[in-house]
């Protein structure tokens, strides 16, 4: 029986392995970093399943393919379906109007409705409510996929994949950049804070012309604040400016965030192709699945299905842009 | 057409490279616009060459590159950023931007003049982002600048030419200096307006990058700039208060 070797156990690799196993293929996984952890950029993600919001600044496939993600993840991990709230300060209302023009499936929240949805948000007269969106805890999601695979007998090798593997599926993100000429890194910075004084129950996006930011509740008063997008490939440190901007956004949502504890600072590089859409490429004996950019959790299910279609059925989904088997 | 430090621009549109949804869309926008110059920021993308991949994409656009000091608030920062830009892009051109106010991003003209002097002495060819103040313009020329880039309106505001009178005065005061309207353009009509006033080029970024269809907007801007330039060269008529019939009245058949 053919054994598929998935290389890389981030969200892409684990989703691909999960999809292959669901279609009764035999799979093994290689990752020298071991089980899901801070070595992978998906560890630092927001975990928003927000195809309608993301469409504001993304290509159409993100909207269409992203919609499948909510159902896919719901079968594998715990997701929260409480929608997304988008707000702006009074002087940035043109940004809210623009956001509304470029997105769909929302309703305007006004006249106190914001306070009804999230009583701890003060001073926002107008907002947009995307009721159908959801979010998940990315770390828990990765661990759940990992556990699910192990339960299904998938072997995890904590080492580099040997060279010359047959039926390899390379999901190493930016580590594969030497083999994918048009892959680049886009720097992202995020913070995890704890602030039991503030209760938010759904992701909130604060629009701002220079630094649109979001905050995602992780439960127990813990929040993820994200995320910068910088065309830089330096993942060593957060800059003071980014930290200031992230924290000011939280402070603008509710000044009580000023007393939050900063639990974590995350910096990593998102793998991205020039149009910021993922790609599947078959070059020789290896299939490369990469370029999830800022849509790791939103597009990993569609990417995984595309890989399984190609590997098992030789079917070309729209993400396949090159096939030189 | 005037030259910019001896270089003739292929096209009077200078287009910024920030805030596009993706590098692919950025590239389409440049292709559609035919822009002759790309401005690039370095301050945030980074020290130590961390922005190399992105910068390589900008180089691949095959247009002239005008690095900028966007995001700098002090002379020292601006000078350091300019030096880094010269190393990265191998050009003496630098768009000098010195922000004086966080909310309006208004230039700090005092520091601007000083930084322009330092950079010019160091061999840079400075494109200063300035206000429409004539005296500041004079001081910048005195500091060695051979181009002036007055604002139309605050950066990213899309308000068009806030003070047409001042921009006209600037054109009249410095007839031989290449002048570029930089910042504040939101619509093609704004860009056409600047060219109709006799400006030599227009620099814009947000209006294209943040449009719903950046490539289409880039093309619209290019067409408007062409129209405005042609109109200026065609010597437009003067506006007047009363009608001036386009058909002579004398000799016309008298029917009523």
Residue pair A253/A179 in contact by the 8 Å Cβ criterion: no
Determine the pLDDT at residue B68. Answer: 93
Residue in A57, A98, A232 closest to B51 by CB: A232
Verify whether the Cβ–Cβ distance B53 to A185 is below 8 Å. yes
Residue of A nearest to B54 (CA): A231
Work out the percent of chain A whose per-residue pLDDT is above 70. 100
pLDDT surpassing 60 at residue B256 = no
A3-46+137-182+274-313 and A84-131+184-272 in the same fold: no
Verify whether the Cβ–Cβ distance B50 to A234 is below 8 Å. yes
Q: How far apart are CA B92 and CA B215, in angstroms?
A: 29
pLDDT band at A111 (very low <50, low <70, confident <90, very high): confident
pLDDT in tens, A48-70: 999 999 999 999 999 999 999 99
pLDDT in tens, B100-122: 988 888 999 999 999 999 999 99
- In total, the C-beta contacts within 8 angstroms joining chain A to chain B are 51
Determine the pLDDT at residue B51. Answer: 77
pLDDT surpassing 60 at residue B16 = yes
Verify whether the Cβ–Cβ distance A230 to B52 is below 8 Å. no
Verify whether the Cβ–Cβ distance A234 to B46 is below 8 Å. yes
pLDDT in tens, B22-66: 999 999 999 999 999 999 988 766 655 677 888 888 888 999 999
| CATH class of the region A3-46+137-182+274-313 | alpha beta
DSSP B199-250: -SEEEESHHHHTSSSHHHHHHHHHHHHHHHHHHHHT-PPPP-SS---SS--T
pLDDT band at B88 (very low <50, low <70, confident <90, very high): confident
pLDDT in tens, B205-250: 999 999 999 999 999 999 999 999 999 999 998 888 888 777 766 6
Residue A52's contacts (CB-CB under 8 Å, 6 or more residues apart) are A63, A103, A104, A105, A106, A130, A132, A133
Q: How far apart are CA B53 and CA A180, in angstroms?
A: 13
Verify whether the Cβ–Cβ distance A233 to B50 is below 8 Å. yes
Q: How far apart are CA A5 and CA A169, in angstroms?
A: 6
Structure tokens at A242: 């980014």
The closest alpha carbon to B235, from B201, B199, B196, B202, belongs to: B196
Shortest distance between the Cα of A112 and any Cα of chain B, in A, equals 29
Verify whether the Cβ–Cβ distance B27 to A274 is below 8 Å. yes
Determine the pLDDT at residue B21. Answer: 93
Residue in A58, A184, A241 closest to B53 by CB: A184
Residue pair B10/A261 in contact by the 8 Å Cβ criterion: no
pLDDT surpassing 70 at residue A217 = yes
Task: For this complex, say whether ipTM is above 0.85.
Answer: no
Identify the residue whose tokens are 């709230």.
A85
Opening angle at CA A291, ends A286 and A295, nearest 5: 135
Shortest distance between the Cα of B18 and any Cα of chain A, in A, equals 9
Shortest distance between the Cα of B44 and any Cα of chain A, in A, equals 8
DSSP 8-state secondary structure symbol assigned to residue B251: T
Residue in B21, B51, B210 closest to A231 by CB: B51
Residue pair A225/A247 in contact by the 8 Å Cβ criterion: yes
pLDDT in tens, B167-214: 999 999 999 999 999 999 999 999 999 999 999 999 999 999 999 999
Helices then strands, counting H and E runs in chain A, come out as 8, 18
Residues in A touching B30 (Cβ below 8 Å): none
Residue in A58, A209, A232 closest to B46 by CB: A232
pLDDT in tens, B113-153: 999 999 999 999 999 999 999 999 999 999 999 999 999 99
pLDDT in tens, A219-271: 999 999 998 998 888 888 999 989 999 999 899 899 999 999 999 999 999 99
Tell me the pairing of strands A213-219 and A320-324. unpaired
Structure tokens at B75: 């002379």
Determine the pLDDT at residue B47. Answer: 56
Determine the pLDDT at residue B57. Answer: 87
The closest alpha carbon to A50, from A226, A293, A298, belongs to: A298
Residue B172 contacts A where some CB pair is shorter than 8 Å: no
Residue B52 contacts A where some CB pair is shorter than 8 Å: yes
Residue B57 contacts A where some CB pair is shorter than 8 Å: yes
Q: What is the pTM of this model?
A: 0.88
Determine the pLDDT at residue B255. Answer: 59
The CATH number of the domain covering residues in A84-131+184-272: 3.30.9.10
Residues in B touching A234 (Cβ below 8 Å): 46-48, 50
Outline where chain A has alpha helix (H): 11-22, 51-54, 60-74, 93-101, 113-117, 138-151, 240-253, 296-313
Domain ranges, ordered by start, for chain A: 3-46+137-182+274-313, 84-131+184-272
Outline where A155-295 has alpha helix (H): 240-253
Q: Which of B2, B76, B95, B252 is catalytic?
A: B95
- Determine whether B95 is an active site residue: yes
pLDDT in tens, A262-274: 999 999 999 999 9
Verify whether the Cβ–Cβ distance B21 to A185 is below 8 Å. no
Q: How far apart are CA A285 and CA A176, in angstroms?
A: 15
3 state DSSP class of A226:
strand
Determine the pLDDT at residue B49. Answer: 64
Residue in A209, A241, A274 closest to B22 by CB: A274
Q: How far apart are CA A3 and CA A115, in angstroms?
A: 54
Residue B127's contacts (CB-CB under 8 Å, 6 or more residues apart) are B4, B66, B93, B94, B95, B96, B145, B147, B149, B180
Residue pair A75/A55 in contact by the 8 Å Cβ criterion: no
Mean pLDDT confidence for B55-84: 91
- Please state, in angstroms and as integers, the Cα–Cα distance from residue B22 to each residue in A293, B17, B28, B161, following that order: 11, 10, 10, 29
């Amino acid at each position: 029986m053919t054994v598929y070797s998935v290389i890389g156990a981030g969200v892409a690799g684990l989703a691909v392995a999960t999809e292959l196993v669901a279609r009764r293929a035999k799979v093994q996984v290689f990752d020298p970093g071991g089980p899901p952890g801070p070595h992978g950029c998906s560890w630092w993600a927001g975990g928003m399943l927000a195809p309608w919001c993301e469409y504001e600044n993304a290509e159409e496939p993100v909207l269409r393919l992203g919609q499948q993600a909510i159902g896919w993840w719901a079968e594998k991990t715990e997701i929260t379906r409480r929608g997304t709230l988008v707000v702006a300060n009074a002087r940035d209302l043109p940004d809210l109007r623009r956001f509304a023009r470029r997105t769909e499936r929302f309703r305007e929240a006004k006249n106190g409705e914001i306070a009804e949805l999230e009583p701890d948000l003060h001073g926002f007269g107008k907002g947009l409510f995307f009721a159908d969106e959801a979010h998940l805890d990315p770390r828990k999601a990765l661990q759940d996929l990992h556990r699910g695979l192990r339960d299904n007998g998938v072997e995890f090798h904590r080492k580099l994949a040997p060279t010359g593997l047959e039926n390899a599926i390379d999901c190493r993100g930016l580590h594969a950049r030497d083999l994918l000429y048009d892959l680049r890194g886009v720097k992202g910075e995020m913070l995890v804070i704890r602030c039991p004084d503030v209760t938010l129950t759904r992701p909130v996006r604060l629009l701002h012309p220079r630094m649109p930011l979001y905050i995602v509740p992780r439960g127990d008063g813990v929040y993820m604040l994200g995320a910068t997008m910088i065309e830089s490939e330096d993942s060593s440190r957060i800059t003071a400016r980014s930290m200031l901007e992230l924290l000011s956004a939280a402070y603008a949502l509710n000044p009580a965030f000023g007393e939050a504890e900063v639990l974590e600072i995350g910096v990593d590089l998102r793998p991205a192709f020039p149009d910021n859409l993922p790609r599947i490429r078959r070059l020789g004996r290896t299939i490369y699945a990469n370029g999830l950019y800022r849509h790791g959790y939103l597009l990993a299910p569609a990417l995984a299905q595309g890989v399984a279609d190609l590997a098992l059925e030789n079917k070309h989904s729209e993400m396949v842009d090159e096939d030189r088997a | 057409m005037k030259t910019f430090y001896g270089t003739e621009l292929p096209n009077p549109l200078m287009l910024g490279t920030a805030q596009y949804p993706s590098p692919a869309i950025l590239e389409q926008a440049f292709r559609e616009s035919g822009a002759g110059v790309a401005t690039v920021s370095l301050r945030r993308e980074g020290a130590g060459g961390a922005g190399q991949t992105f910068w390589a994409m900008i180089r691949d656009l095959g247009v002239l590159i005008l690095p900028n000091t966007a995001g700098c608030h002090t002379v020292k920062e601006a000078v350091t950023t300019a030096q880094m830009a010269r190393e990265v892009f191998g050009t003496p051109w630098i768009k000098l931007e010195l922000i004086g106010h966080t909310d309006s991003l208004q230039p700090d003209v005092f520091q601007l003049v000083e930084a322009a002097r330092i950079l010019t002495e160091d061999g840079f060819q400075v494109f200063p982002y300035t206000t429409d103040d004539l005296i500041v313009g004079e001081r910048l020329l005195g500091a060695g600048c051979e181009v002036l880039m007055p604002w139309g309106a605050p950066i990213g505001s899309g308000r068009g030419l806030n003070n047409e009178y001042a921009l006209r005065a600037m054109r009249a005061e410095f007839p031989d200096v290449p002048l570029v309207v930089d910042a504040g353009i939101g619509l093609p009509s704004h860009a056409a307006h600047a060219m109709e006033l006799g400006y030599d080029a227009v620099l814009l970024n947000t209006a294209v990058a943040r449009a719903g269809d950046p490539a289409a907007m880039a093309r619209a801007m290019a067409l408007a700039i062409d129209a405005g330039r042609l109109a200026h060269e065609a010597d437009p008529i003067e506006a007047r208060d009363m009608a001036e019939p386009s058909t002579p009245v004398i000799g016309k058949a008298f029917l009523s």
